[in-house]
């Protein structure tokens, strides 16, 4: 996987362009937000997340879908249970992943953040393949966007407390952060 800084698209990953984005306001990309998603909830490898982010979800297929039928959302990336990475929105554009949010007193986090969705739920462990892909992708993003330090990586729950709970208690922040800092200073 290699991020093309001119286009904001990663080479070597699946591209599934979403219409749910707009231009970023001028300024830096300085925050990485980790989420989780599964559609229907707790069901994996259904392809429904991709359909949802492309506004192609057949809302008659599952009762849960009726409640999200009118939402227009996206993220920059999705990492599936097997480690497959899909990109929906260029990193240079604003994906609609954070909603009403605030980080260190700055609101509207979509303006200055990138969003990565992990296929999963708050309470089911994520896979080794997901952590490996997440670390690889994060390193690519940090190399391109130097302001995204380990301290500027957070969960959706951190920027929208009380409204969002993901990536949830099953996400191993210590494992992820340790893997990101492994080898630093050598």
Alpha helices in the chain (DSSP H): 48-53, 63-66, 128-144, 156-159, 173-181
Tokens of 131: 């952590």
As a 3-state breakdown, the chain gives helix, strand, coil percent values, each rounded to 5, of: 25, 20, 55
Cβ pair 79, 117 in contact under 8 A: yes
DSSP 82-121: T--EEE-S-TTEEES-S-S-EETTEE-GGGTEEEEEEES-
Q: What is the DSSP letter of 5?
A: T
**Residues annotated catalytic, as ranges:** 117
Helices 173-181 and 128-144: crossing angle in degrees, nearest 10, is: 50
């Amino acid at each position: 996987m290699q991020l093309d800084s001119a286009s904001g698209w990663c080479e070597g990953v699946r591209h599934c362009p979403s219409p749910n984005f707009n231009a970023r306001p001028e300024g830096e990309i300085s925050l990485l937000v980790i989420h989780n998603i599964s559609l229907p909830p707790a069901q994996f490898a259904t392809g429904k997340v991709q359909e949802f982010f492309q506004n192609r979800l057949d809302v008659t297929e599952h009762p849960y879908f009726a409640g999200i039928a009118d939402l227009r959302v996206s993220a920059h990336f999705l990492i599936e249970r097997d480690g497959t990475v899909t990109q929906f929105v260029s990193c240079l554009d604003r994906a609609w992943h954070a909603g009403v949010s605030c980080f260190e007193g700055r609101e509207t986090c979509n303006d200055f953040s990138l969003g990565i969705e992990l296929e999963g739920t708050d309470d089911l462990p994520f896979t080794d393949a997901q952590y490996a892909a997440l670390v690889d992708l994060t390193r690519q993003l940090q190399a391109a966007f130097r302001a995204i330090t380990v301290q500027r990586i957070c969960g959706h729950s951190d920027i929208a407390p009380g409204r969002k709970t993901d990536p949830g208690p099953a996400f191993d922040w210590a494992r992820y952060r340790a893997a990101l800092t492994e080898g630093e200073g050598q």
